[in-house]
Amino acid sequence: MQRMETGLRTETITVNMGPQHPSTHGVFRMIVTLDGETIVDLEPVMGYLHRCQEKIGERNTYLQNIPYTDRLDYICSMSNNMAYVMAVEKLAQIEVPERAEYIRIIMVELTRIVNHMLAIGALLNDLGCFFTPMLYGLRERERILDLFEMASGSRMMCNYMRFGGVRYDLPPSFMAELKSVVAALPAFIDEFERLLTENEIVLVRCRGVGVLPPEKAIAYSCTGPLLRASGVDYDIRKVDSYSIYERFDFDVPLGRNGDVYDRYLVRIGEMRQSLRILEQAIEGIPEGEISVKLPRVFKPPEGDVYHRIESPKGELGFYLVSDGSTNPYRYKIRSPTFINLTVLPELCKGHKVADVVAILGSIDIVLGEVDR
């Protein structure tokens, strides 16, 4: 406005942020129109990592899809496993033994901690912290990944869950290791908070940036920490109380303003709540069977089901259509971050270039899941 009064002719410039850019968390592109440093318009472009997993899923048998779900959101393979496996169990009406349910919940909640550590670390990297919070997060993540490796044989691509249970029982030393990790994690989260929560630069960079009002968050189908930071109390673990979540006592951290800082706080809060669930799960885990016996050639009955879980990034759902054969007729992945990205242009308009990366970091995308 002021510029027009001075009579200077100004032009907007269009910048391609990505696909090769340090803070797009992979190959993601934003076509940004800038007026000076202010964002006038932003258009996300994706698909650089597209593998058409849904088509591959139709080619594979039901069991063969499990390792592919690992590679959706490659940070949280356990929760992807769980969503898919539960969808198939719903389709074929398989009962899961209690011990397996507990094992699954332990793994999924550990995954949530892993994911939030990385999300916060990456967010701080985008804000310009020279990798320090990121590496602190990675260090704790490593301890959890060791637990995954101990149980499933792989750190990231766990491929651990099976229809009607899990692949292996927990190894003998697992519970002891888990207990010591869970006991040590609160101190780490406290340290993380000391490093970041009150840091003035973090505050000025995050507060009031990328504000997402609750009505808009719902309208844009946002889920996960992004939604809850806007103050909408919607956690599928509570709403659907799938698996055995109704047995655990935990809170849903909510934000007030829906800005980047609240998303950070919600993630920190969720890590603490996950630890609470883990403690209860460690207490309550029973002995017993870890899976049900299924026929070698697994053919679920005809029909279609949709099952969703609260993955660390939001609502992860699988829509399966079965025609009674060994392969799914349709295998659809409702990935949380792909849909959360819908709101990105709305969040970014009017902010500065530096805020775009912060907002993108706070949405916490993984391109494996966005592009599938």
How far is the C-alpha of 305 from the C-alpha of 329, rounded, in Å?
Answer: 12
Report the residue number, 105 or 147, with the smaller CB distance to other proteins.
147
Is residue 309 within 8 Å of residue 236, measured between CB atoms?
yes
Report the residue number, 244 or 339, with the smaller CB distance to other proteins.
339
Stretch that binds other proteins, among 47-55, 109-117, 241-249, 264-272 (CB under 8 A): 47-55
* Shortest separation between residue 47's beta carbon and other proteins, angstroms: 4
* Shortest separation between residue 361's beta carbon and other proteins, angstroms: 8
Residue 311 touching other proteins (CB under 8 A): no
* Shortest separation between residue 284's beta carbon and other proteins, angstroms: 22
SS3 of the chain: the string is CHHHHHCCCCCCEEEEECCCCCCCCCCCEEEEEEECCEEEEEEEECCCCCCCHHHHHHHCCCCCHHHHHHCCCCCCHHHHHHHHHHHHHHHHCCCCCHHHHHHHHHHHHHHHHHHHHHHHHHHHHHHCCCCHHHHHHHHHHHHHHHHHHHHHCCCCCCCCEECCEECCCCCCCHHHHHHHHHHHHHHHHHHHHHHHCCCHHHHHHHCCCCCCCHHHHHHCCCCCHHHHHCCCCCCHHHHCCCCCHHHCCCCCCCCCCCCHHHHHHHHHHHHHHHHHHHHHHHHHCCCCCCECCCCCCCCCCCEEEEEEEEECCEEEEEEEEECCCCCEEEEEEECHHHHHHHHHHHHHCCCEHHHHHHHHHHHCCCHHHHHC
**Pairing outcome for strands 161-162 and 165-166:** antiparallel
Residue 280 touching other proteins (CB under 8 A): no
Residue 308 touching other proteins (CB under 8 A): yes
Q: What token pair was written down for 281?
A: 């799960």
Residue 229 touching other proteins (CB under 8 A): no
Residue 104 touching other proteins (CB under 8 A): no
Residue 50 touching other proteins (CB under 8 A): yes
Residue 241 touching other proteins (CB under 8 A): no
Residue 52 touching other proteins (CB under 8 A): yes
* Shortest separation between residue 252's beta carbon and other proteins, angstroms: 13
Residue 235 touching other proteins (CB under 8 A): no
* Shortest separation between residue 306's beta carbon and other proteins, angstroms: 5
Query: Which x/- pattern over 313-352 shows residues binding other proteins (rule: CB under 8 A)?
Result: --x-x-x-x-------xx-x-x---xx-xxx--------x
Please give the single-letter amino acid code of residue 310. Answer: E
Residue 364 touching other proteins (CB under 8 A): no
Report the residue number, 111 or 337, with the smaller CB distance to other proteins.
337
Among 219, 251, 286, 324, binds other proteins (CB under 8 A): 219
Stretch 62-91 residues interacting with other proteins (CB under 8 A): 63-68, 70, 90-91
Q: What token pair was written down for 280?
A: 């209860």
Among 355, 359, 362, 363, binds other proteins (CB under 8 A): 355
Name, in order, each residue with C-beta under 8 angstroms of 64's C-beta and a sequence gap of 6 or more. none
Residue 103 touching other proteins (CB under 8 A): no
Stretch 115-144 residues interacting with other proteins (CB under 8 A): 124-132, 135-136, 139, 142-143
Residue 246 touching other proteins (CB under 8 A): no
Residue 22 touching other proteins (CB under 8 A): yes
Among 26, 42, 60, 273, binds other proteins (CB under 8 A): 60
Stretch 171-210 residues interacting with other proteins (CB under 8 A): 171-172, 180-181, 183-185, 191, 194-205
Is residue 289 within 8 Å of residue 316, measured between CB atoms?
no
* Shortest separation between residue 95's beta carbon and other proteins, angstroms: 15
